[in-house]
Structure 1
């Protein structure tokens, strides 16, 4: 097993389309964090929008997302994910490769949301849960409300 595969396993990234490029300690927003650089490239056989064959779309740059992961080595951990963008020549629309790791248009990983749910089972305030998980109180409230909407 290579070092980059080990890093991927430690971070809890199981998506085969994500390749870890590097991992180091860095400054981000004035704090020392663990920053893992990664690339997400998926092979599409059809356009997800118009169902045109793969020869109808081309690669069109990359979109960089800073995704918050669970803490590692008692430091805040981020995944700087470069997502491949595509342009469909058939429908003239753009789309970006996606992963199970985060919801669409979100920068907080599902791991962190699961951690929030785990902490909600214990008797503590939402503010302390937000501090433990390094998210806002609003994120804790949204995670709880999403859970209550699913159970109804």
Structure 2
């Protein structure tokens, strides 16, 4: 078992289409405050044989898009997942599609695990600002998740 497979198990990412290839530390300074992140680089790709829109087998790979996902922390620095999602293009109906994964909803950057952590902390009747500090997101994001 490689070290990157252990990272996937530790973060409870069970999608077999995600391939991890690098982990790094990132430090940024904003308004005099130093933020420390763990950044995990990964790629999401799988083979599509038919177009989801028209059904013809005329799909080709059409580059990737970078999405920056927030994962739950492990009592330490914030963890970001830089996920390169495969794009597909259908030659018959001229539409494009992106690869999908069950760890995050379409067009979202907060993972389902992070949202469930917010719900667990809310069940303990903690204030929204406290939940936001523990999880590492803004208070308005916590409110949006809860309501």
Q: Do they fold alike, i.e. is TM over 0.5?
A: yes
**Matches of 1:73 and 1:41, distance apart in 2:** 30
Residues 29, 44 of structure 1: alpha-carbon distance in 2 compared, 3 angstrom cutoff = farther
Give how far 1:72 is off.
Answer: 3.0
**Matches of 1:77 and 1:52, distance apart in 2:** 39
Task: Check conservation: 2:118, 2:142, Cα contact below 8 A.
Answer: yes
- Report what 2:10 is aligned to: 10
Aligned residues: 143
> Where in structure 1 do 4 or more consecutive aligned residues deviate above 6 Å?
none
Please report the RMSD computed on the Cα atoms of aligned residues, expressed in angstroms: 1.4
Give how far 1:138 is off.
Answer: 2.0
TM-score (norm 2): 0.91
- The gaps in structure 1 that reach 5 residues or longer are 146-152
Task: Check conservation: 2:48, 2:59, Cα contact below 8 A.
Answer: no
- Report what 2:96 is aligned to: 94
- Report what 1:138 is aligned to: 140
Task: Check conservation: 2:24, 2:40, Cα contact below 8 A.
Answer: yes
Q: Secondary structure at the match of 1:37?
A: strand
Residues 66, 59 of structure 1: alpha-carbon distance in 2 compared, 3 angstrom cutoff = same
- The gaps in structure 2 that reach 5 residues or longer are none
Q: Secondary structure at the match of 1:84?
A: strand
- Report what 1:44 is aligned to: 48
Q: Deviations over 1:96-135 (max 9, x none)?
A: 0010011100011111000000001012111111111111
Task: Check conservation: 2:19, 2:44, Cα contact below 8 A.
Answer: yes
**Matches of 2:40 and 2:28, distance apart in 1:** 12
**Matches of 1:28 and 1:60, distance apart in 2:** 33
